[in-house]
Amino acid sequence: MHETNLQKIDLNLLIALNALLEEKHVSRAAERICLSQPAMSRALARLRDTFQDPLLVKGTRGMALTARAIDLYLPLQHILREITNIVTTPSVSPADMRGTIVIATRDYELATILPTVISKITTNAPHLKLSIISQAGDDLSLLEHHSVDFVLSGTDKTSSTLHRFTLYEESFVCLVANNHPVLKHGMKLEAYVEMKHCLVTITNFGPGYVDMLLAEQNLQRNVVVRVPHFLAASHIVSNSDLVVTLPRRLGELLAKDNKITLLQPPLEIPHFPIYLYWHTRNHNNPVHQWIRKVIREALG
């Protein structure tokens, strides 16, 4: 009987089940194992039929696990670990890792994310070298062309050949010089639109994200300077009467400079995720797996 039941079960469903039990969310579980949301929904339906239990039900704070699902979790973890041990090659100690890892990103991620990551990598893997290069706009083709190992980016793209995980959700702040006149009166939306703005744009053409939000309210801000780098914008702002709107983590870092004041934007700007991307050819590479673990822990 057990043999017959096992033959009827698609063991790939165990991976889907593990993601569902840990994420407690169909879409996040789908993204985690690179399935579409409809495919994960179908997997959940098959799992419910297999275990004769709903497994995930609506709770007061999103989805909740049933008692059966809770009972399944630890045995499932054990089974997946055993399968992993069978099919994967032995891990490599960080102290023995060699070669060069290339990461493409912008100066924002370089300043806010990578310092801690680089410190951990150089300390624990002293023979591993790192090369950080600039990401060109939203282009992820460097991964496809084997030119880089990882891309750190707010670019939201999916591909059958790329993996990613979300590092965190980012919001926005404004930076002005400490002697800016707006600090005396407060920065309302009307004042914000009339102020002179510095816009960070990698492509150096077209409207920025904030400009598109303002256009929805039939408003237009006064952009007088465009620059390709966030750090350059902060120096410009600290020595002028301009304002720059940029990601909060970077703003908080730059505001440690006593020439700059951080302000809340006077309009609702949706948060955006920061992702780590890598190519599927390196998904099981022990060095890459360790670096992904370091990045997760550094931002945990």
Q: Do 16 and 40 form a contact (C-beta atoms < 8 A)?
A: yes
Please name the residue that has the structure tokens 């670019």.
Answer: 155
This model's pTM is above 0.85: no
pLDDT in tens, 76-105: 998 888 888 777 666 689 999 999 999 999
pLDDT in tens, 209-220: 899 999 999 999
pLDDT, residue 204, reads 67
Rounded to whole angstroms, how far apart are CA atoms 158 and 185? 45
Residue 25 in tokens: 């969310």
Q: How many CB atoms lie within 10 A of CB 191?
A: 14
Please name the residue that has the structure tokens 């949301």.
Answer: 37
pLDDT in tens, 118-144: 999 999 999 999 999 988 767 788 898
Residue ranges in the chain whose pLDDT is less than 70: 1-8, 88-91, 137, 203-204, 300
**Burial zone of 246 (CB within 10 Å; 0-12 exposed, 13-18 middle, 19+ buried):** buried
Contacts for 268-273 with beta carbons within 8 Å, 24 or more apart?
268/213, 269/171, 269/172, 269/209, 269/210, 269/213, 269/245, 271/169, 271/170, 271/171, 272/154, 272/156, 272/169, 272/170, 273/154, 273/156, 273/166, 273/167, 273/168, 273/169, 273/170
CA distances from 183 to 179, 180, 251, 255 (A): 8, 6, 17, 15
Segment (H or E) for 226:
strand 222-227
Residue type (1 letter), 137: G
pLDDT, residue 185, reads 84
The pair phi, psi for residue 43, each rounded to 5°, is -65, -40
Q: Do 17 and 57 form a contact (C-beta atoms < 8 A)?
A: no
- Domains of the chain by start residue, with CATH: 2-87 (1.10.10.10), 94-158+278-298 (3.40.190.10), 172-270 (3.40.190.10)
Inter-helix orientation angle 12-23/37-51, to 10°: 100
